[in-house]
A and B are shown apart, each in its own frame.
Chain A
């Protein structure tokens, strides 16, 4: 039995083909057309697996663009999917921290693997990938460079959680000739603080699995992990945890 999970995020669209193990995966930028992105990432994943659409018994859609996919059998929210995906990769996971393009979330998982509680950022971009994107824009660096600059430097204090205000604050710091390294470190600290404040509302038990695009950056992972005082499980492909979870949801409904 083979299933597919398609995760249409605000920044990237991901697909996983699953048969009890991961058969193939694909990532494309979402761009302006979530429907197209969903279709093309699915086709790419099928090609990589050497399969045809009719070989797939169930297709589950997730992510904010899940409603725009016409070829899926069912839609499931990314909360449920991230929990499933993380649990599959790291069976002892009790907490998932996910930082995506426009949402960040903390998911508490019960011993039996079910979602016990969750919390998401409110409707602003604080503590999301978008926040980091804007800040790297101000510093004229990439996300990878942000991580490298940030590690091992004493952070400049950045007080604004709001993306717009933080941007002004950083421009002010640059004017005061604060180093790029200190600002980069300060930016990552604000993300850590935001995520810590979310975990005050839900239980945050170990093991903690960190998913979402931001987890691709090892230095940022290390800074967050030390802020939490806990070791993080980092998947090889952290962006794919949601799509993997979706495929597993499909797999379980047939089983």
Chain B
């Protein structure tokens, strides 16, 4: 991949994470509360309606894993170890800012880790059902969403009105709309943005506390990219292999597979995973009772902790078509049993539709297997090009 003219606004995204540390400090001095969130199942709207600042805390870096392994088993998934390690080592400024953590019972590893985390900070646990297409599951989840609202009201001594919720829903729908528009840019062939830049923008914008400003920045990036495409400026060619990445969450720090794909001549055009399309393809219904509408949208999230999880299969298949991809890479973190097992079924499902080349990669956050991964990924790209 050659270096190329970049959208000018991209550099603003690079600084966003560092800059937001200062704005959170200032907001805290004004009495604002900060809520740390780990997962896509946690409704951001309710935190915003409580007047608090939502901050993503999912660990994406190798650094704190050694600290985490003093307590957690070594063969646990790196995402869980990294998340806990950041908290336990005190090395994450965002964790240190939080007044409350919102956690959720997704996988076994996470829910048991949260028990340990709750010794470090006040933590509200959402009891997530394990199935989606079921009225009773929805009713149960709706009850959990109501309890979360009540917890925030008590914790921060505020009252959350329907109007607060509706405003938060509109703002989040607007944010999701802008993030979806940005990601849809990579449907252009060749894409005007690399997967690694797209991931950086998606990841870093999460740390900004000014949602309106984020939407403006994301929309500007989208417009600039459209313009670059019009001028024919792109790091890629029409022959570049287009890859959809699915599976476990990926962020900056845990991006090695994205990097290897692009250094080997491919282009990740779509992130189906948590930080990418999965978070934005679906909106909260603005016509319905707000907490019910929130409950419905969040429960639909197609994660492998659900059984069955047909939503993910359908989404991957649809996105593979819409983004015109040449291959699918299914990323599994070591120790993530749900995504690991589901990979087999996903591959089978995709073969019954249209046979799309499929590669599962199982790895962790460390650099120890980079050479082995290169063989697999380069061979995959040779196979599909």
Interface residues of A (CB under 8 A from B): 64, 76-80, 103, 114-118, 120, 122-123, 201
Contact = CB atoms under 8 A, between A and B. Distances in A.
Contacts of B357: 117
B369 A78 contact: no
Q: Is the interface of A mostly helix, strand, loop or mixed?
A: mixed
B25 to A, nearest CB: 42
Interface string B316-327: 000000000000
A79 B383 contact: yes
Contacts of A76: 382
A216 B125 CA distance: 58
Interface stretch (B33-41, B49-57, B103-111, B370-378): B370-378
A81 B358 CA distance: 20
B379 interface: yes
B362 interface: yes
Interface residues of B, number: 16
B382 A64 contact: no
Nearest to A107: B379
Contacts of A78: 375, 379
Contact of A120 (B344, B368, B375, B382): B375
A78 B357 CA distance: 18
B337 to A, nearest CB: 15
B371 A120 contact: no
Contact of B379 (A64, A80, A116, A122): A80
A79 B378 CA distance: 9
B340 to A, nearest CB: 11
Given A120-B375, A120-B376, A79 B382 contact: yes
Nearest to A79: B379
A123 B368 contact: yes
Contact of A64 (B347, B358, B362, B375): B375
A145 B347 CA distance: 41
A78 B369 CA distance: 17
B372 A103 contact: yes
A79 B344 CA distance: 21
A115 B382 contact: yes
Contacts of B368: 123
Contacts of B362: 122
A118 B379 contact: yes
B91 to A, nearest CB: 28
Contacts of B371: 64
Contacts of A116: 383
Max chain B C-beta neighbours (<10 A), residue from A78, A79, A80: A79
15 contacts: A76-B382, A77-B379, A77-B382, A78-B375, A79-B375, A79-B379, A79-B382, A79-B383, A80-B382, A115-B382, A117-B357, A120-B372, A120-B375, A120-B376, A122-B362
Nearest to B378: A77
A77 B368 CA distance: 19
Interface in B342-372: 344, 347, 357-358, 362-363, 368-369, 371-372
Contact of A115 (B369, B376, B379): B379
B383 A114 contact: yes
A123 B382 contact: no
